[in-house]
Structure 1
Amino acid sequence: MSEKKQEKGHNSTSFDQWLQRYGWEILPHPAHSPDLAPSDFHLFGPLKRHLGGMAFEIEDDLISELRNWFDNLDVDFVRVGINSLLSRWQKCIDLHGDYVEK
């Protein structure tokens, strides 16, 4: 991966600030529980269904579609994902970082 792609995007800082403004703490990801990534269990399924059957001639078209999808996420969709993540994190804490079933 190129160095440029590894940098945080311009929106990630504002998202971090948004989380902090509303009292959310950004926690480190437990290395032995990859199933706890919010993107794995809540975002990728719906995103995959949304993109299913689409073809993109150029990368910019894909990026535009992704931005559009993320910009239009329903607040309740995000809330459900966060609430589900919280209970899964608690299970991970209770299991001292071991694998958490989905």
Structure 2
Amino acid sequence: MKKVKSAINKQQSKVSTSRTLLLHDNAGPHKARATTQSLRELGIQVLPHPAYSPDLAPCNLCLFPILKDRLAGRKFDRIQDLAKAVNSELRTIPEEDYQGAFREWQIRLKHCIESHGEYFEGL
């Protein structure tokens, strides 16, 4: 967790915010006492996430489809090689695409709130 905080601090020095908000789903490791306690100690606020809303994961809106397309057909013998390829590809995605994914996430989040967490289609 100290590495996470260090990376966050490095990023915050580049942008005009001193507050860290984290969005992740309700997976067991994310909700574990050790994780939530460490995040609290680091001063990282976790945004609430509906119990089952996979369509609200920002990565699913932009990053995963791009990565899937760019890495299709490639084989990796080691997890380190895969991680290196993913990081390399993520660095080539324009900032506007990340911003677009965030805007799309906001739209989906609004629909989720308006539907009171019920399933919805068409976005």
Query: What's the TM-score bracket when you normalise by the shorter of the two chains?
Result: 0.7 to 0.9
- Give the secondary structure class of the aligned counterpart of 1:53: coil
1:79 to 91, 96, 99: 99
2:94 is aligned with 1:46: no
Where in structure 2 are the equivalents of 1:1-102 lying within 5 Å? 10=4, 14=8, 18=12, 21=17, 25-26=21-22, 27-101=47-121, 102=123
Higher share of residues assigned strand: 2
Q: Structure 1 stretches (4+) deviating beyond 3 angstroms?
A: 7-13, 17-20, 22-26
Aligned CA RMSD, in angstroms, stands at 3.1
Asked if the contact 2:61/2:104 (under 8 Å) is kept, the reply is no
User: Displacement of 1:34 after TM fit?
Assistant: 1.7
TM-score (norm 1): 0.72
Structure 1 residues 60, 46: closer, same or farther in 2, change over 3 A?
Answer: same
Post-superposition CA distance 1:6-58 (Å, at most 9, x none): x696389518x648818785422211322111122322111100100111122
Q: Distance in 1 between matches of 2:17 and 2:105?
A: 20
Q: Quote the sequence identity (%).
A: 32
Higher helix share: 1
> For structure 1, which segment, 90-99 or 19-28, has the greater mean C-alpha deviation from structure 2 after superposition?
19-28
The 1-side partners of 2:49 and 2:73 are apart by 32
- In structure 1, runs of 5+ residues without a counterpart are 1-6
- TM-score where L is the length of structure 2: 0.62
